[in-house]
Amino acid sequence: MAGARCARAAVVLAALLCLSVPSAHAQQSTSQQAAKTQRLLDIADSPLPGAEPARLPSHDSSTGGPGDINYELRERPATPAQINLSTTVETTVENRTTNAVSGGGARAPADGPRATPAKDAAPAAALEFRALVAQTVGHDLPVFGESLFGAESALKDVDPLTVPADYRIGPGDQLLIRAWGQISIDFQGAVSRSGTVFLTGIGEVSVAGLRLDEARDLLRGVVSTQYRDFQLTVSLAQLRDIRVYLSGFVASPGVHTLPSTATALSGLLAAGGPAPSADLRAIEVRRDGRTVAVLDSYRFLLQGDKSGDPQLLPGDVLYLPPARGFAAIAGSVRRPAIYHLAATTTLGELLDDAGGTTVTADLLQARIERFVDGKRTVVDVDGDPRRSVQPLRDGDIVLLVPASPRFEASITVSGHVAVPLRQPWRPGMTVSDALPNADALMPYATWSERNARNPLSGVADARDASAVPPRLSEVDWDHAAIERIDPRTQRLSRIEFDLGAALAAPHGAADPQLQAGDTLLIYGEDEFAQPERKRVRMVRVEGEVAVPGVYSMAVGESLRDAIARAGGPTPEAYLYGTVLSRASARAQEAERLKQAVDQAEEDYDRFLATRSRDVVSQEDALVSGNETGNARALIARLRAVQPIGRVVFALDEEIADASGLPALPLEDGDVVRIPRRTETVTIAGAVFQQGTQLWKAGADAGDYLREAGGTRPHADRSQIVVLHADGTVRPLHRGLGGARIHPGDSILVPENVDRTPLGRRLREWTTLFYQMTLGAAALTVIRN
């Protein structure tokens, strides 16, 4: 019998050596190679008495040369060499044949036809349904479980060294047996086909079908019959490989080589996974022509339960039937996706698979889109979908919409309130119940402003001292509203009421009742144009008055009333120089100033564009350069001017008390400033000595100009103006005399700039600002 086995091994080896040597027939057709490979497979599969079963090498086996026939020669201890040779040759042939058929193991022949994986021809049904779901919900939904079997799945890397505790030793497993003491054993070898290992000095021991701990106890018992005082260990050095078959809706059908520890799920992962339309809920394991287990992968995916995942044995068949159907669920669920249907799947079970609904789901608005006789329909869901036993069908799309943002049994208070908030509504609730105290109507900005103005804070107020503090809007006690939505028509209505009257008499006739869903709107008084009689005017009075401060003025009260409210003028007050600054006038002057400066810049740019064309001599260039420099400086100064918004009124220079002031009604934000009496006159502009001179009774403008050294040669004597302390401006049309000068007046002498076109434009700009009556200080800046 040994001779027969040696002869069979020699025949197979000779055939392999012939195929592996390059020859003129190396480029033969694919069909010839396949036929030769099949013959070798037949030889390898022939029964050999006493021979070990063929074993596929692991993935780290070397591949062959030009003929793509892989083989290796190994020597196994305590086993006849010819059997090792025969086993290795047969294994290489089988692995090579399997690769060509199924695409598993090592690579296919470089010059042979490649098998097309089943996943490249995925059934159109699954793809069509996924596209339909994306069109329905507006975005793509994944098929639940596809990430587990996807190309990036880490579970595909099955660790062959991970041995379960209940692993049974079988033929082909490499055992490592060591003993020390009275006997020394150092054995590493494979379990034979008969399930035994041969130990020198001990003999043959049958270990097939035993766990490692059982094999260890057995060997200790055998050795102890001959030796005492020894220690013995048994471990697995290398696991055997097994061949399993994949069929049905799988990505790579055919024969696959797997570690002997592989289970149905890990084997499916390692062999390429299922096809898109496979049923992941009914993976069958067939053995010896019958189904021994049916695996529902959702138990592992959803619950982490692998108890139904059986270990594979050599020759097992993994069969994946076509999917029973798909159902999608989207909207307010925790895991929207497309799910495989089991034999009977209810709506409640699908919601459990999707992780349940989110807190925002409207359980009364769930619906199912379904195909009935080739037509799409919408099916209502009875009751709570989470507990629904309504069966699902293939192609169903379950949609759960989010709940309406409408608050039930509540009212909202917004507008001019401390904190816009919602309150629970109760039957009979009125406006006064929603606003229990006045603090609810005081915005945070009001408290912040009041706290910021704490005189003990020690923080200086950087604002202009002449400005009136900003007055925060007060509550409009006469006007409030209730916004209400009719639940039947969904139309918005507004109910106006008197807020002050409602809070003055709670639960009275003027206190409207609220309904669930109402919005109570509180207005500030500045949100609507208030009647003059209701307007509060805050006026600042400062300077030479008895009690400077900010005062509340009623409608119709005038400048005189404001000074009287401040205690009247002091003995040092110069009423002729009273200044009234108004916000509305300041805004108008600022707009006119901006327009004037913008026009000046346009004129200046236009002049620069034509200057080079008009310059014909060095002297002209010098004059032109001086003019452009003056124009540039003037524009910069005009940009820096801040309008004061002075309201000008002509006063009698002999005014003695506030009764001589005009009865001008005041506006909110007005600033009244009474200066201290001065005894000086200001001379500015094109004079030889600008500055301040003592006022002399009876002296006119000419007298002051002569004391200033007279006007310069380029002074424009026709444009001299006097800016009086009361804000009025008077030109000196009759020469240098004739104008009476009062304390605090200013005399302004402009330069004659009419000699060039740009100069004439400068004069026009200056005239405009004269007309605006900006004030003596501002005009001095401009002329300087």
Residue 289 falls inside a structural domain: yes
Q: Please, is 640 exposed, middle or buried when counting C-beta atoms within 10 Å of its C-beta (0-12, 13-18, 19+)?
A: exposed
* Whole-number average pLDDT of the chain: 75
> If you write DSSP's letter for every residue of 435-495 in order, what string do you get?
--SGGGGS-HHHHHHHHHT-TTS-----S-TTSPPPPPPPEEEEEEEEEEE-TTT--EEEE
Residue 323 corresponds to which tokens in the numbers above? 């999917």
Confidence of residue 52 (pLDDT cuts 50, 70, 90): very low
**Sheet (strand 326-331) strand order:** 337-340, 326-331, 396-400, 367-372, 375-380
pTM over 0.85: no
Buried b (16+ CB within 10 A) or exposed e, 748-765: bbbbbbeebebbebbbeb
Question: What is the pLDDT averaged over residues 327-353?
Answer: 94
pLDDT attached to residue 183: 92
* 246 and 230 belong to one structural domain: no
Given a cut of 70, whether residue 664 has pLDDT beyond it is yes
Residue 39 falls inside a structural domain: yes
* 286 and 373 belong to one structural domain: no
Number of domains the chain contains: 6
Radius of gyration, alpha carbons of the chain: 52
Compute, in degrees rounded to 10, the torsion defined by CA atoms 131, 135, 141, 145.
-30
pLDDT attached to residue 545: 93
Given a cut of 50, whether residue 449 has pLDDT beyond it is yes
pLDDT attached to residue 21: 39
Report the alpha-carbon distance of residue 514 to residue 437 in Å, rounded. Answer: 17
Report the alpha-carbon distance of residue 590 to residue 460 in Å, rounded. Answer: 28
pLDDT attached to residue 269: 86
* 256 and 313 belong to one structural domain: yes
Give the CATH number, domain containing residue 298.
3.10.560.10
Which of 19-33, 345-359, 703-717 has the largest mean confidence?
345-359
C-alpha to C-alpha distances, 592 to 437, 458, 769, nearest whole angstrom: 48, 39, 9
Q: Please, is 645 exposed, middle or buried when counting C-beta atoms within 10 Å of its C-beta (0-12, 13-18, 19+)?
A: buried
Residue 613 falls inside a structural domain: no
Residue 747 falls inside a structural domain: yes
Residue 595 falls inside a structural domain: no
Nearest to 258 by CA among 275, 274, 245: 245
* 192 and 250 belong to one structural domain: no
Given a cut of 50, whether residue 397 has pLDDT beyond it is yes
Given a cut of 50, whether residue 36 has pLDDT beyond it is no
Which of 70-74, 245-249, 276-280, 615-619 has the largest mean confidence?
245-249
Report the alpha-carbon distance of residue 612 to residue 606 in Å, rounded. Answer: 12
Residue percentage of the chain with pLDDT more than 70: 68
Residue 169 falls inside a structural domain: no
Provide the residue range defining the domain that includes 727.
678-752
Question: What is the pLDDT averaged over residues 310-327?
Answer: 92
Report the alpha-carbon distance of residue 364 to residue 382 in Å, rounded. Answer: 9
pLDDT attached to residue 100: 29
Confidence of residue 720 (pLDDT cuts 50, 70, 90): confident
**Digit-coded pLDDT (tens) for 541-576:** 999 999 999 988 888 888 899 999 899 999 999 999
Residue 152 corresponds to which tokens in the numbers above? 């990036």
Residue 480 falls inside a structural domain: yes
Max Cα–Cα distance, the chain, nearest Å: 154
Output 430 or 158, whichever has higher pLDDT: 430
Residue 403 falls inside a structural domain: no
pLDDT attached to residue 726: 87
> If you write DSSP's letter for every residue of 279-344 in order, what string do you get?
-TT-EEEEETTEEEEEE-HHHHHHH---TT-PBP-TT-EEEEPBPS-EEEEEESBSS-EEEE--SS
pLDDT attached to residue 553: 86
Given a cut of 70, whether residue 733 has pLDDT beyond it is no
* 444 and 501 belong to one structural domain: yes
* 255 and 297 belong to one structural domain: yes
Given a cut of 80, whether residue 723 has pLDDT beyond it is yes
pLDDT attached to residue 248: 93
Confidence of residue 89 (pLDDT cuts 50, 70, 90): very low
pLDDT attached to residue 190: 94
Question: What is the pLDDT averaged over residues 233-261?
Answer: 91
Report the alpha-carbon distance of residue 260 to residue 169 in Å, rounded. Answer: 10
pLDDT attached to residue 652: 84
Given a cut of 90, whether residue 57 has pLDDT beyond it is no
**Digit-coded pLDDT (tens) for 600-641:** 778 777 776 666 555 544 545 544 556 666 677 767 777 777
Domain-terminating residue out of 238, 254, 282: 238
Q: Terminal CA-to-CA distance of the chain, rounded, Å?
A: 129
* 232 and 344 belong to one structural domain: no
Residue 195 corresponds to which tokens in the numbers above? 């399930």
pLDDT attached to residue 450: 58
Report the alpha-carbon distance of residue 191 to residue 143 in Å, rounded. Answer: 44
pLDDT attached to residue 597: 78
